[in-house]
Each structure stands twice: as structure tokens, then as C-alpha cells.
Structure 1
Amino acid sequence: MEPATRSVGEAKEQADGRLAGKVAVITGGASGMGRATVERFLDEGASVVIGDLNADAGHAFMAELNQAGCGERARFSRTDVAVEDDVAAMTELAVEAFGRLDVVFNNAGIGGAFGPITELDVDAWDETFAILVRSVMLGTKHAARHMIPQGSGGSIINTASIAGVGGGAGPQAYSAAKAAVISLAQTTAVELAPHRIRVNAICPGLIFTPLMHSGNEAQAEEVMRETQPWPGRGEGADIASAALFLASDDGQFVSGQQLVVDGAMLAAGPRIHGRMHNTRNLHRTAGMAYGTTGKAATVRRL
């Protein structure tokens, strides 16, 4: 088992490793689960393009990687994952910089639209689906455009959520969007299987990231203790380990699956929605949460 947290310094140049010679694109790669996966993939020998809307966070991360001595195997691309030209440019950068594309991790996400169903803003609903679902379609589309002619297969990994499996783990728009991500992974897995391109979804539970705790770490840990059977909190490194399995040859016969990584939370019946400090008063507010993108949330009191 890998340690729960990893430093950038551990991601040194590797001549071997489970991803040696492979090239990956990871969206939402400047923070949280995406950042942990970038570090793990670099540590395992991959070259990585980091896609993120937050340019400040992306450039700061690249500076750390350069200082750690592994910046030659990393590139940053400021990417709005809901914009096709941005996604196309991000995947092109991987091929231009490193010669091929083997893995795409469609991980970028936001909290999205929230509030009572009677008060949800339709534009916020549409934007949530653009960032959480259209992005996965675009990432899959442009990954396949490079992987198919290469003729050596590939792995596409999508971040879904236990919120997409049943009620009680997230607001309506977020949960519905993540259910769509799971379905899209299944349908594209069937379509791309003849090309030896695997498509899977990871379904995290509560993972301790800036998107999850929104700055209130103590309250987030309290909710984890109350709702998650497993002792100890979920970390970005836990998702990175799951992504590594799906990206590597260890997962070569795994496709069309949803891999739940949640400390048995789903098995126990999630009761998360409305318990976090940033969701506790959703019956009295409505708006749009943008997570770690650098965009401020909008909140309307009812």
C-alpha cells in the first residue's frame, strides 16, 4: 500500500515504473485528486500534461515539479474542460511534447448547481452538466482520436462519484451528472473495446481535498467520522492509486466498470448531503459552486 500522502519531491525521474514510457493527460490536475494523480503517475515513470482552469495553481505546481527535478516530464495547459478547442489543444500538447497519448483522466469537476429543486437556476444546471459531463465526452472523444490510430490501445478514466450511484450523497445536478459519467464510461467502453481502449469510472466517496472541505477542515473530518465506516479519511492519494491500477497493464482486462473508492460509505448508505458546512443550509440558498477553479461561488438567499 502506498503512503496516504506523497510529496512532489517523491516524483523524481524514473527509468522504470508501472507507467514507464506512457503519456497521460490529467484534468483538474493542479489540486486535490488530480494533483495527487499527477505526482503518482510521474513517480511511476509517466509523462503528464496537467490540464486545469486555474492557471495560477497550474503554474505554481509546475514550478514545484521543476524544482523537484521532474518538470521535463510535465507540461501545464490552461484548460476549460467544457470548451472543445481547449480539450483538443490539451491532448495535442501531449502528442507534441511527448510523442503519443496513452492515458486520459477526465477528473476536473466542481460542486455545481445547488438549492431546492423548486429554486434551481436552469443556467447553473446546464453549466454543471457542461463541466461535469460534456467535459468527459470531449476528453473521451479527443483521447480516442489519438489512441485509435496509434494502434496500441489506451486507458480513459473518468471521475464519477458515489453520488451518481444513488441518492443521499450530493445535490441533484451533481448527482445526475455523475450518473451520466458512469453511463458514458459504459457505452464508450463497448464502442472502443475493439481498439483495446479501456474506459472506466472511479466513484470517490468523501475525499479530503479543497473541493470537499471548502476551507473548513475540522467540520469535514467530523462528517467523515460520522458517515464513513473506515477509520481515517480518504485522501487524494487513494484516488491516485485507483487511477494507477486502471491506467497500468494491471487493469488490462478491466473496462466499462465503476470502481468505488469510499471507505465503505456507499455500502453503509451515504447520508452526506446537507451535513457539510457548505451544504447544510441548501434549503435556504441556491446558486453555483465552482470548487478550486478560481471562480467565486454565487449564492442567492431564498
Structure 2
Amino acid sequence: MTHASPVPTARLSGRRVVVTGGARGIGASIARRFRGEGADVAILDLLEEQGRATAAEIGGTFHRVDLSDEQNTRDALGEAMDALSGIDVLVNNAGILRFAPLLEISVADWDAMFQINTRAMLVTTQVAAKRMIAQKSPGKIINMASMGGKTGGAGQGHYAASKAAVIALTRVTALELGAHSITANCLCPGYVLTEMGAATRTEADIAQWSSYSPLGRLAQPDDVAGVAAFLASPDADYLTGQSFNVTGGMIMH
């Protein structure tokens, strides 16, 4: 059964939004949803061709970034904020996923996972939050964690640990930036059936994972984008420091 996308509203009208990893998958769905709800959107991604195509499709801007490079990250985000004439919402969506048994994870693999999934998020949060504070206006930071950050997963020691760190970083961000009217929340998706995910999983895999949800299906990127749009909207102004499970009930804590 195909899950229908909700009808867009204008509740994000005038919001200036930066989405990292917005070229494809969940990030592209978030960018489309935000733009459909009236936001001005800038996409940051390493995938230049796909990023430019997505930005052109939604009428946003694209800025190439290498999140493993601190200075390039700062520069690219600064460029994106300048293009938007400021920033109201930062969506830290970009991340990588690799598999390895616990006893075979190298220090280099561990560091690479944290470099993209967690350290880059710290850098973008610092840069965007300073701009939000200087603007003297409320801001929102939405971080992409994972169900794995709460439950772990065999073969995902470095990934799960990096996403658990995202949850902790989000809470500290909420605690420290609340005085500036900046909220910080994170999303913890389960199995999301992106184009890449569908191409690397068999029908049996998809059926098995679907059975773990009381709803009997996997998430579509739009399922995650809808929750992100809610968190970016005025409806979520009093929510901060929370990690929201977008798992179809696969976990309930």
C-alpha cells in the first residue's frame, strides 16, 4: 500500500531553512516538504549533481559541502545562510551508515562515523546558533538520530554510538540555547524505505522489517519529513530536548 503524502500548508511561510544531506532520500523529502509549506530552503550536500537537481526542483539553493572538513562546513553553511539572508531552522540530516562486526571496527572507521554523524553536527549547530542569536529571533534545530541510537543493532556499533551521541548533543543544545529561544529536537527513524534502501534489500528483508511495526509497513521518507515539518512549525514551539521515534511502533520509548 502506498502511503499518501499530506496536503501542504503554509505554516512555514517565511522560514529560512538549511537542510544538510538534502540531495536525496530523507533530506530531499524534508527539503520538498518544507518548501511546499512555504519555507525558503538551502540544501547542503556533497552530491553536487543530485543536490543541484533537488534545489532546482523546489526552487531552493544548493551549496556543496564536505562535512568531514570543519572549515569547509563553516564556509558552506555561512554561504547558505547569506543566500537566505539569515536562518530560522537548521535540519542536521546528513549522515553515513556502514556495517561491521564489533570486533572488526577499526579506529579509523569509528572516527569517520563520528566525524560525519556527530562532529559535523556540532560544527553546524555552533555556526547556525550564533547566527540565530545575533538575529535576536527564535530558532529551531532539528537533528537526525536513529532508532539505532536507542536500541543499538548488531553490526552497527559505531553507527549506533554516533547516533546515541546525537541524542545527547540535542539535549545539551536544548539546555544551553533555550535562553535564546532556540529549541533543539531530534528524530529517531526506524527502517525508512528510501531509493537506496529499496535497492539494497530483498522483498523478504522488507517483509520481515515491516512485520516489526504494528502498522505493518516501513516508513517512507515523507513520514519523517512530516514530523520534521511539525517540529519546525509554531505548533512545536514548546517542545525541546526531545527525541521522537518515527518507527511505526517498532520501539515505544
TM-score normalised to the size of structure 1? 0.78
Equivalent residues in 2 for 1:43-192 (5 A)?
43-63=36-56, 65=57, 70-71=58-59, 74-112=60-98, 114-168=99-153, 171-192=156-177
- Higher CA-based Rg: 1
Query: How many matched pairs?
Result: 251
Choose 50-59 or 181-190, whichever is displaced more: 50-59
CA distance 1:136–1:221, change in 2 (3 Å): same
* Secondary structure in 2 matching 1:156: strand
Rounded Cα–Cα distance in structure 1 between residues aligned with 2:221 and 2:96: 16
Q: Hey, what's the Cα distance between the residues in 1 that align with 2:149 and 2:37?
A: 30
SS at 1:182 equivalent? helix
Distance 1:219 1:62, change over 3 A: farther
1:253 counterpart SS class: coil
1:116 CA displacement: 2.1
CA contact (8 A) 1:104 1:156 kept: yes
Cα distance change of structure 1 residues 33 and 251 upon mapping to structure 2, 3 Å threshold: same
Instruction: Indicate if the aligned counterparts of 2:42 and 2:55 stay in contact, CA closer than 8 A.
Output: no
Q: Give me the identity figure in percent.
A: 39
Native 8 Å contact 2:102 2:156 kept in 1:
no
Please tell me whether residue 40 in structure 1 is matched to residue 38 in structure 2. Answer: no
Deviations 1:44-69 (A, max 9, x none): 11011111111121122234x1xxxx
SS of the equivalent of 2:151 reads: coil
Cα deviation 1:200-249 (Å, max 9, x = unaligned) = 11000111113433433634422322322212321111111111111111
How has the CA–CA distance of structure 1 residues 98 and 18 changed in structure 2, closer, same or farther, with 3 Å as cutoff?
same
Query: What is the RMSD of the two structures over their aligned residues, measured on CA atoms?
Result: 2.1
Please say if residues 159 and 203 of structure 1, whose CA atoms lie closer than 8 Å, have aligned partners that are also in contact.
Answer: yes
Q: List alignment gaps of at least 5 residues for structure 1.
A: 269-302
Residue matched to 2:18: 25
